[in-house]
Chains A and B, each alone.
Chain A
Amino acid sequence: MADEKEKTGKVPHYLSYPRFLWRALVESTEGNRWFYVWMTFLTALALVGANAWAHQVADGMILTHMTDHVSWGLYIANFTFLVGVAAGGVMMVIPAYLYDDREMHDVVIIGEILAIAALIMALLFVVADLGRPDRFWHLIPGLGEFNFPMSMLSWDVIVLNGYLLLNLHIVGYLLYKRYRGEKPDTRWYIPFVFLSIAWAISIHTVTAFLYSGIGGRYFWNTAILAPRFIASAFVTGPVFIIVSLQLVKRFTKLPIPEGPIQTLISVVKVSILVNLFLLGAELFTEFYTGGSHAKSATYLFFGYDGHTGLVPWIWTAIILTLISAVMFLHPLARKNFAFLNAACILAFAGLWIEKGMGLIIPGFIPSPLGEIVEYSPSLVEWQVTVGVWAFGLMIYTVALKIAIRIITGESNLHAELGTTDGEA
């Protein structure tokens, strides 16, 4: 064993790294029947989205139902929600590295991979929302004209891409070392892990500042928007991971200990209540004060002037979140996985509405000049949305598969070299 280790240790990086990438490609195209069914299904949905987007670029954004009055819609709603999911992945990193939770440490990579997939989806939603995606390069610092530090959107470009790179580095480095059968050098990842913890908070804070910094939109112009975003991120990220952990346990050889799921349940239990509390505090201020500040909230919750487009959405969100909160508080959540998963799905769906359609759209209604123009997404918008989610899930699935095969040792350089040597 010692000999073999030494032997792999001698393999130069310019040979082992391409091999590592090749292995990743092989792992992402190999699998059992269910893997192929799942990936084909996602590919089909992603293609529908790609086609809808191509039409939108060619014919103009007239194919969406956005207007000059409601100028952001389903895309920016999904973008906002997904930044939260990406930030929520940090709720595995914090216990693993700040509290030295060994069991969490063994599976923390799932949270980091979720961050990568969610960020890619978030960025794709931004691209889908651009009227001129061909001018994307105008946003690249150095190449284009970057309005930093004035524009919050330029901050968002930096923090989102930075967080993506941080997680790609951490995940890539750890897997590569593992693949080579070496112990990772803490200097090359621990500082990045700690940076990523602070960075995770920053991505959702900056995303909240996008909206809360706008003085002319009273519904968004509130200091607790960023705390609200963080609170819901710490629900949506963990609930997604709780379900993921069980799927990983079911479909792979990676041992999933009981501890991490229980820790995440505790996180969700607190966060979901904090989120409801902050929402309540917001609504009290809106409705007790009344006046023009409360008009968007009135429209959202009760309808305004006979316009009730968002009322069913927001009450669905509130009811789903409340039921989920009660379920998480129930002792059964810790024992019965079916019960737990139902609670997770309810929370995810509820917050997808609350931090999406329930937050972005009412900011535009009524308009700053008091006009009410309602919005509901067009078919093209739904197709693009489903396509981006499908593509994101493909990335998540493939990345998890590569990572798990390497962690369990099913994919490793030493074994491969052994075979190659034998054949040569």
Chain B
Amino acid sequence: MTDPTDDTTTVEANDGGIDRRTAMKALGATLGAAAFARAMAPLRSWSADQSMDEFLQQHYKRLSDEDMERILRRLEQETYDEYGAQVHIDDPQPIPGVQFGYALNLSVCNGCRKCVEACHIENNHDRSTNNSYIRVFEMEQGSMDFEKGTADYDHTVPAPGKYYMPVQCLQCDNPPCVDVCPVEATWKEEDGVVVDYNWCIGCRYCQAACPYHARRFNWKKPEIPTGEVNPVQAYLANRIRPAGVVEKCHFCLHKTRKGGAPACQQACPTGARVFGNMLDPDSDIRWVLENKRVYVLKEDLGTRPRFFYFFD
């Protein structure tokens, strides 16, 4: 019975066999289809949560003002339905003639991580993972090698022989993350790099491409208690992200595009953080850039960050 055609030949010679075989096939197909439906069952509850409007939503740059208006109201409603919080989401545009720059004084930073916490709250991060766009590295005095540092320190700061280095998205002028995105879900605006959380497909190529570990992926739906949701939100900024998409620091554009300061800067007790419009000759950031010997992380990679470090 090693010849595979044996059965078929027998069947062709025997009319009754065809019927039995057809019946068996039909049974097999039915069982297979039922098993497949059963295997895919978890998708049913998931797809019930997805709205058709969201599925068909176009790329950010192709949305008309009316489209955006409708989407913002829908997102507010969804936030209310899922988190029980009344929020206001808008879509502030870059201010003409404004290019944000950030500088951080490493001589002053004491590693207290108030900025990390402020970011966590301001940007509606997942509570269970304690996510934040900022990580602070405790570095060895006399070395700039991150491998000699750690972001997992847990003791009184500042520790002797250490200095502290907060790292967040550097808002590169030549961002590798934007180049690699296959669907243009992340792009550079006049004042920084942004992500459309409703367009990202979650391939995480940008995470692989970023040399600064600035990007985070929503491995699950963020959990935030109703009372803790920050209700002042923007579309490209701190609105609660869906599961399965990438996010990163946006220099708090929901505040800074309206003339405010980023939450991390406001929270810093040491004055180590200097933020402002690099094109304004009277701004603090401009003073730092002109008077301090600033440097950027991994300058050799040619990413041209707009986030600078300096020592007094």
Q: A51-B39, A145-B184, A152-B180 are in contact. Are A138 and B201 (CB under 8 A)?
A: yes
Which A residues lie within 8 Å of B183 (CB)? 135, 138-139, 144-147
In the bound complex, what is the Cα–Cα distance between A134 and B53 (angstroms)? 13
Interface of chain B residues 190 through 231 with chain A (CB within 8 A): 199-205, 207-213, 215-221
Q: Decide yes or no whether B288 CB sits under 8 A from chain A.
A: no
Q: Decide yes or no whether A185 CB sits under 8 A from chain B.
A: no
Q: How far is the CB of A219 from chain B (nearest CB, A)?
A: 11
Complex partner residue of A32 from B6, B29, B219, B301, CB under 8 angstroms: B6
CB–CB B211/A215 < 8 A: yes
Complex partner residue of B185 from A34, A138, A363, CB under 8 angstroms: A138
Q: How many residues in A have their beta carbons less than 8 Å from beta carbons of B? A: 68
What is the interface of chain A, defined by CB distance below 8 A to chain B? 29-35, 43, 47-48, 50-51, 54-55, 57-62, 64, 66-69, 71-72, 126, 129-136, 138-139, 144-147, 150-154, 157, 210, 213-217, 250-253, 295, 363-364, 366-371, 410
Complex partner residue of B40 from A50, A146, A371, CB under 8 angstroms: A50
Q: A31-B7, A71-B208, A366-B147 are in contact. Are A153 and B180 (CB under 8 A)?
A: yes
Complex partner residue of B209 from A62, A139, A214, CB under 8 angstroms: A214
Closest to B167 in A: A369
Closest to A220 in B: B208
CB–CB B244/A131 < 8 A: yes
Most buried by B among A47, A132, A251: A132
Could you give 21 example pairs across A and B, Cβ below 8 Å?
A32-B6, A43-B35, A51-B38, A51-B39, A54-B42, A59-B42, A62-B219, A67-B219, A68-B213, A68-B215, A69-B213, A138-B201, A145-B185, A151-B181, A151-B182, A216-B209, A216-B211, A216-B212, A253-B5, A368-B210, A370-B149
Which A residues lie within 8 Å of B3 (CB)? 32
In the bound complex, what is the Cα–Cα distance between A38 and B33 (angstroms)? 18
Q: How far is the CB of B246 from chain A (nearest CB, A)?
A: 8
In the bound complex, what is the Cα–Cα distance between A67 and B151 (angstroms)? 16
In the bound complex, what is the Cα–Cα distance between A43 and B1 (angstroms)? 24
Closest to B35 in A: A47
Q: Decide yes or no whether B50 CB sits under 8 A from chain A.
A: yes
Most buried by B among A61, A68, A153, A154: A68
Closest to B41 in A: A54
CB–CB B208/A217 < 8 A: yes
CB–CB A54/B199 < 8 A: no
Complex partner residue of B4 from A35, A72, A151, CB under 8 angstroms: A35
In the bound complex, what is the Cα–Cα distance between A29 and B8 (angstroms)? 11
In the bound complex, what is the Cα–Cα distance between A32 and B8 (angstroms)? 7
In the bound complex, what is the Cα–Cα distance between A367 and B212 (angstroms)? 9
CB–CB A131/B204 < 8 A: yes
Q: How far is the CB of A350 from chain B (nearest CB, A)?
A: 25
Q: How far is the CB of A177 from chain B (nearest CB, A)?
A: 23
Complex partner residue of B137 from A59, A66, A369, CB under 8 angstroms: A369
What is the interface of chain B, defined by CB distance below 8 A to chain A? 1-8, 25, 29, 32, 35-36, 38-43, 45-47, 50, 55, 59, 61-62, 135, 137, 145-151, 167, 176, 179-185, 199-205, 207-213, 215-221, 242-246, 298, 301-302
CB–CB B145/A370 < 8 A: yes
Most buried by B among A29, A139, A151, A295: A151
Which A residues lie within 8 Å of B301 (CB)? 215-216
In the bound complex, what is the Cα–Cα distance between A210 and B176 (angstroms)? 12
Closest to A401 in B: B4
In the bound complex, what is the Cα–Cα distance between A157 and B29 (angstroms)? 33
Q: How far is the CB of B201 from chain A (nearest CB, A)?
A: 5
Which B residues lie within 8 Å of A68 (CB)? 207, 213, 215-217
CB–CB B184/A368 < 8 A: no
Query: Known contacts A58-B43, A68-B217, A131-B200; can you find 20 more A-B pairs with CB under 8 A?
Result: A32-B5, A54-B42, A57-B42, A58-B45, A60-B221, A61-B244, A131-B203, A132-B244, A134-B47, A138-B201, A145-B59, A145-B199, A153-B180, A215-B302, A216-B211, A217-B211, A366-B147, A370-B146, A371-B213, A410-B5
Closest to A364 in B: B208
Complex partner residue of A136 from B148, B201, B217, CB under 8 angstroms: B201
Q: A58-B43, A131-B202, A134-B55 are in contact. Are A368 and B211 (CB under 8 A)?
A: yes
CB–CB A132/B208 < 8 A: no
Report the 5 A-B pairs with minimum CB-CB distance, sorted nearest first.
Answer: A131-B202, A216-B211, A131-B244, A370-B146, A370-B147
Complex partner residue of B243 from A33, A131, A215, CB under 8 angstroms: A131
CB–CB B204/A72 < 8 A: yes
In the bound complex, what is the Cα–Cα distance between A151 and B149 (angstroms)? 33
In the bound complex, what is the Cα–Cα distance between A131 and B4 (angstroms)? 43
Q: How far is the CB of A127 from chain B (nearest CB, A)?
A: 10
Complex partner residue of A131 from B40, B41, B62, B201, CB under 8 angstroms: B201
Closest to A387 in B: B39
Which A residues lie within 8 Å of B199 (CB)? 135, 138, 145
Closest to A52 in B: B39
Closest to A419 in B: B12
In the bound complex, what is the Cα–Cα distance between A138 and B201 (angstroms)? 8
CB–CB A214/B176 < 8 A: yes
CB–CB B4/A147 < 8 A: no
CB–CB A147/B1 < 8 A: no
Which B residues lie within 8 Å of A364 (CB)? 208
In the bound complex, what is the Cα–Cα distance between A62 and B218 (angstroms)? 8
Q: How far is the CB of B130 from chain A (nearest CB, A)?
A: 13
Q: How far is the CB of B46 from chain A (nearest CB, A)?
A: 4
Which B residues lie within 8 Å of A30 (CB)? 8
